[in-house]
Chain A
Amino acid sequence: MNVESIFFDQPSSYFIEAIEPSRVLVLDDKQFRKLAAENEAFERFDKSLLHEHIHTLQHRITALQSSSAEERYRLFTKQYPEVMLRVPQMMIASYLGITPESLSRIRKELAQRNCRPRNTS
């Protein structure tokens, strides 16, 4: 949900890019308001979406202010365990507010701590 556009009628500062085959349902603000006005269940859904959105933003701000880059990476992978497999690392680095080089360094350091050498044949 793009808050800038849907509630403040401003052009969005984000764009959407599909990085894997996707089906996206698009609702414009008129359809959105109409649905919320006419359907109680949708209104409840809309409200909980908004709360979820604020919750996520709050977490992200707190993490950006008070957690190290490695902690932010760990929180992120706990919250979205499958994303590292599906999203290019440069995009994840950008989301975490670090450079791709920093993300690579963090992952390398984690590997040095957590990868026990195995006997390979």
Chain B
Amino acid sequence: MATKKIAFVTHPQETHWVGDGFRVHNFIPAIPGLSMQEMDPFILLDYNAKRMVAPSETPGGVGVHPHRGFETVTIAYEGEVEHHDSAKHGGVIRRGDVQWMTAASGILHKEYHAKEWAKKGGLFQMVQLWTNLPARDKMSAPKYQSIPNDTMGKHILPDHAGLVEVIAGEYQGTAGPARTHSPIALMNAKLNEGGRAEFSFPAHYNTALLVIQGHAVVNGTDLPTDNLLKFANEGETFTIEATAPETVVLVMSGEPLREPIVAYGPFVMNTKQEIMQAMDDYNRGAFGHLED
């Protein structure tokens, strides 16, 4: 086992609004070195860094929009997000929870700050990660996995170092509840100051870290809050060490699908024809209906 080589560390770039509720830094695919092909199977990473949301009777959010061909993984670190979709699913993603939505053949949905939460406002921090689906699963039936925090795998680290919260994949024998369509590991390293956690993922997996809170040192490289570290496809192991109290690092690693990617807005397919078909299906109502 060799030490994983670090490709680069990047600051967040300028923010943009997604609807009127989510003010995000995009990492994947906009930042050079983090294209869909280079981060395969991770095809989008939007990060709403910690900010205060003023109380409001009309919750901010994004109106009805379609998705096809991939999954959206929403991680709520602070605040609450409410969602509804054309298959009549709906719910609230609360602080610490994850929603893993497999859009697959297609769904219409909308997402907002949760109504009751928005009335009081407060700290809001969220990650939305899109994971690509293998060609064979792109047109499968849509589904949801609601992953409340208490169902996640919790691996307690020795010496009061903290814990690793496993959403998907496995950390030293502790498995996460999410079912994935290709090998994907998604976990939060929650470390006390001076706490260390060691990780190992195959060299060919695309692997990145995002510091949600605190400050980390990874294989000797400084990683401040809101910064992303991308590993090169060399070596397997790395150590995250927290150099600030209550450090939280999101760890993502996935086996690349190595299939052609053709993306247009909310559709991610393998060919241009499939994108044209998705547009036609959306226009003729095949995704169903959802009131705004």
User: Do chains A and B stick together as partners?
Assistant: yes
The residues of A with any CB-CB pair to B shorter than 8 Å are 74, 77, 81-82, 84-86, 104, 107-116, 118-121
| Candidates A85, A114, A120; contact of B285 at CB < 8 Å | A114
| Candidates A111, A112, A113, A120; contact of B142 at CB < 8 Å | A120
A86→B265 contact, CB < 8 A: yes
A35 to chain B, nearest CB (A): 33
B124 at the interface (CB under 8 A from A): no
B198 at the interface (CB under 8 A from A): no
* Chain B residue contacts of A113, Cβ below 8 A: 285
| Candidates A84, A115, A118; contact of B141 at CB < 8 Å | A118
Q: Report the 9 A-B pairs with minimum CB-CB distance, sorted nearest first.
A: A110-B285, A111-B285, A111-B289, A77-B283, A81-B279, A115-B288, A114-B285, A121-B143, A118-B141
| Candidates A84, A112, A120; contact of B143 at CB < 8 Å | A120
A21's closest neighbor in chain B, by CB? B16
* Chain B residue contacts of A121, Cβ below 8 A: 141, 143
With A120-B87, A120-B142, A121-B143: A81-B286 Cβ-Cβ less than 8 Å:
no
A71 to chain B, nearest CB (A): 13
With A81-B279, A120-B87: A115-B142 Cβ-Cβ less than 8 Å:
no
A115→B143 contact, CB < 8 A: no
Q: Is the interface of B mostly helix, strand, loop or mixed?
A: loop
B286→A114 contact, CB < 8 A: yes
Greatest chain B CB density within 10 A among A85, A110, A119 is at A85
A115→B289 contact, CB < 8 A: yes
* Chain A residue contacts of B144, Cβ below 8 A: 120
- With A and B bound together, what is the CA distance between A84 and B292 in angstroms? 14
B284→A114 contact, CB < 8 A: yes
Knowing that A77-B280, A115-B86 are A-B contacts, what are 10 other residue pairs whose CB atoms are under 8 Å apart, sorted by A's residue number? A74-B283, A77-B283, A81-B276, A82-B264, A104-B292, A107-B289, A110-B284, A115-B285, A115-B289, A121-B143
B141→A120 contact, CB < 8 A: yes
B22 at the interface (CB under 8 A from A): no
A13 to chain B, nearest CB (A): 29
* Chain A residue contacts of B231, Cβ below 8 A: none
- With A and B bound together, what is the CA distance between A86 and B65 in angstroms? 10
B280→A81 contact, CB < 8 A: yes
A selection of 11 A-B contacts at a CB cut-off of 8 Å is A82-B265, A84-B283, A85-B65, A85-B66, A115-B288, A118-B87, A118-B141, A118-B142, A120-B144, A121-B141, A121-B143
B282 at the interface (CB under 8 A from A): yes
- With A and B bound together, what is the CA distance between A82 and B264 in angstroms? 9
* Chain B residue contacts of A111, Cβ below 8 A: 86, 285-289
B183 at the interface (CB under 8 A from A): no
B37 at the interface (CB under 8 A from A): no
B280's closest neighbor in chain A, by CB? A81
B239 at the interface (CB under 8 A from A): no
- With A and B bound together, what is the CA distance between A74 and B287 in angstroms? 16
A77's closest neighbor in chain B, by CB? B283
B55 at the interface (CB under 8 A from A): no
B142 to chain A, nearest CB (A): 6
